[in-house]
Amino acid sequence: MEATDIIYQEDKPATQDERTTALLSHILTFVVGFFAPLIIYLLKKDESNFVRAHARESLNFQISIIIYSMISFVLIFALFVGVLGFIVIGILYVITVIIATIKASEGKHYRYPMCIRIIK
């Protein structure tokens, strides 16, 4: 395991406020996209390692979804398989955001699958 793989490691458990803020960084993406985790990350990154880790992971996943969607859009014109890509991306998005929200509410960390970790 590399140092960059360690996302959240603290002796004390996350407080209820930290868990609530962390879960908001995931669930609000259904309404406002990447803006929710971006704002939470910028406002809370120095206050809580738990919130920072969840907001960063959520933000990276949102960026990844945008990239995958752009690739699928291009593939619609090239091979028409992009439509299938959009369906798979949509299903993956909904399921993983719900799982991440549940994990945050439990005070646990979650790493999104197929996430490009741009923000370290």
pLDDT tens per residue, range 41-51:
999 999 999 99
As a whole number of angstroms, the distance between CA 36 and CA 25 comes to 6
The DSSP code sequence of 63-112 is HHHHHHHHHHHHHHHHTSTHHHHHHHHHHHHHHHHHHHHHHHHTT-----
Tens digits of per-residue pLDDT, 63-74? 999 999 999 888
Enter the pTM of the model: 0.85
Q: What is the mean pLDDT of the chain?
A: 89
More confident residue, 108 or 5: 108
| pLDDT at residue 19 is higher than 80 | yes
Which pLDDT belongs to residue 5?
43
Residue ranges of the domains in the chain?
Answer: 14-105
